[in-house]
């Protein structure tokens, strides 16, 4: 019943909305997890030549999750990875609240993730010289942000080379005896706040999920698709400061629906605040109901 409801709602979304497929989508691998799948089985190694082809696939097997490869391949639908023929891959950064050093509630951890995002964007612009029109930022639909870099210079980097960039971003054991940007920043911070070297590193490091950036064959959540664990949209962040993930990613309607809570909930989506205990039956807007059902904290 819950799955059928979600399937219907997700399908409606994909019928009514056009999804802008990523650049060179014909050269990328797509992967899906259908809503009806029992154990998160992923259907991989798919490729599409047109938007129509993609759309009809999605409507036939309504997905809870849609991914595409950061890599461009000669044969994106080859079953074996080494037969795909790697050409290049977007440089991806994943800022996930789960990888932050503190554990907070949904809303506050997203605020923290945004702070990291802003730190990252400054470094990408100032140090790496990446121009604003070569970067796109997406809310992941759940606990963080994805940063996609399309610059022709960067997409050719291999994994080992990307690790150099990762080390730079996460401040992996810098040696401050060298005259470098990092030692300059670390020493300045230590002096200004009279903190230790380790404290300065912890404060200045940007918490990205390192393996994602180093991986040149990663599957990334498709912009414009819905996150099956929240029902929120993977939405482009145009204005970082004014972006509110818990409003701007909501796609479903306001119509009231009654659901029974399976655990305590304290949450805001758009302007709707819900604070209730497990076992209660609450009447909430559709978008909130879908969020709760996706998270498996409520059912009809």
Partner 1 sequence: MIPLFPIISRYPFLKVAAKVFENLKVEDEILKFPEVLEEAKKIVELSLEGKKFERKYLKVDIICSSCDEKCVKCRSLGNFENCNFCCNCFKNCKKKLPEEEWKFEAKRSVLRYVVTRSLASQLEERERMRFAVVEASYYADLLKSESDAVVKLLASDFGLKLRSWNTHVVSYVRASSRIKSPEWRLINRKISLGYVRTDRREVERIIVEILRSKLMEKTPTLFELKIKKKRKLKEFEVEHGNVEAKFFPPCMKEILIQLKNGLNVSHSARFAIASFLLNIGMKVEEVVEIFRTTPDFNEEKTRYQVEHIAGQKGRGVEYVSPSCDTMKTYQLCISNCKVNHPINYYRKVKKSRKEKSEHV
Would residue 209 show up in a list of annotated catalytic residues for this protein?
yes
* 178 binds partner 1, rule: CB under 8 A: yes
Pair 249, 13: CB distance under 8 Å: no
Would residue 96 show up in a list of annotated catalytic residues for this protein?
yes
Instruction: Please count the other Cβ atoms lying within 10 Å of the Cβ belonging to residue 254.
Output: 12
* 161 binds partner 1, rule: CB under 8 A: yes
CB of 29 to partner 1, least distance (A): 24
The stretch near partner 1 (CB under 8 A) out of 10-18, 112-120, 135-143, 162-170 is 162-170
* 272 binds partner 1, rule: CB under 8 A: no
**Backbone φ and ψ of 220, nearest 5°:** -120, 145
The length of the chain is 300
Would residue 12 show up in a list of annotated catalytic residues for this protein?
no
Window 112-131: residues binding partner 1 (CB under 8 A): 126-130
Cβ closest to partner 1, residue 132 vs residue 271: 132
Query: Which residues, in sequence order, are bridge partners of residue 77?
Result: none
CB of 150 to partner 1, least distance (A): 13
Tokens of residue 140, six digits: 């992941």
**Backbone φ and ψ of 128, nearest 5°:** -90, -5
* 198 binds partner 1, rule: CB under 8 A: no
Pair 57, 124: CB distance under 8 Å: no
* 86 binds partner 1, rule: CB under 8 A: no
Between the CA of residue 214 and those of 96, 160, 193, what are the distances in Å?
16, 7, 33
Residue with tokens 């404060």: 203
Residues that bind partner 1 (CB under 8 A): 126-130, 153-154, 156-158, 160-161, 163-165, 167-168, 171-175, 178-183
> Which sequence positions are flagged as catalytic?
94, 96, 209
């Amino acid at each position: 019943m819950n799955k059928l409801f979600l399937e219907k709602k997700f399908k409606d979304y994909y019928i009514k909305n056009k999804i802008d497929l990523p650049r060179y989508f014909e050269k990328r691998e797509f992967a899906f997890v259908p809503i009806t799948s029992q154990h998160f089985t992923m259907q991989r190694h798919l490729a599409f030549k047109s938007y129509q082809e993609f759309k009809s696939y999605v409507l036939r097997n309504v997905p809870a999750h849609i991914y595409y490869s950061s890599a461009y391949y000669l044969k994106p639908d080859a079953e074996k990875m080494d037969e795909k023929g790697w050409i290049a891959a977007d440089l991806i950064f994943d800022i996930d609240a789960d990888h932050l050093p503190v554990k907070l509630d949904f809303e506050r951890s997203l605020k923290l993730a945004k702070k990291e995002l802003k730190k990252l964007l400054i470094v990408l612009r100032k140090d790496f010289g990446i121009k604003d029109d070569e970067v796109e930022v997406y809310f992941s639909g759940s606990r963080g942000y994805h940063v996609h870099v399309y610059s022709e210079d960067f997409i050719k980097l291999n994994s080992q080379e990307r690790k150099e960039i990762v080390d730079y971003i996460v401040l992996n054991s810098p040696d401050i005896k060298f005259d470098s940007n990092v030692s300059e920043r670390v020493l300045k911070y230590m002096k200004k706040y009279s903190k230790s070297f380790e404290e300065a590193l912890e404060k200045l490091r940007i918490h990205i999920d390192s393996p994602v950036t180093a991986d040149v064959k990663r599957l990334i959540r498709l912009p414009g698709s819905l996150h099956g664990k929240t029902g929120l949209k993977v939405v482009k962040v145009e204005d970082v400061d004014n972006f509110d993930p818990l409003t701007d990613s909501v796609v479903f309607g306001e119509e009231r629906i009654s659901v029974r809570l399976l655990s305590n909930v304290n949450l805001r989506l758009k302007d709707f605040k819900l604070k209730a205990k497990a076992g209660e039956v609450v009447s909430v807007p559709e978008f909130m109901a879908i969020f709760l059902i996706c998270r498996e904290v409520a059912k009809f």
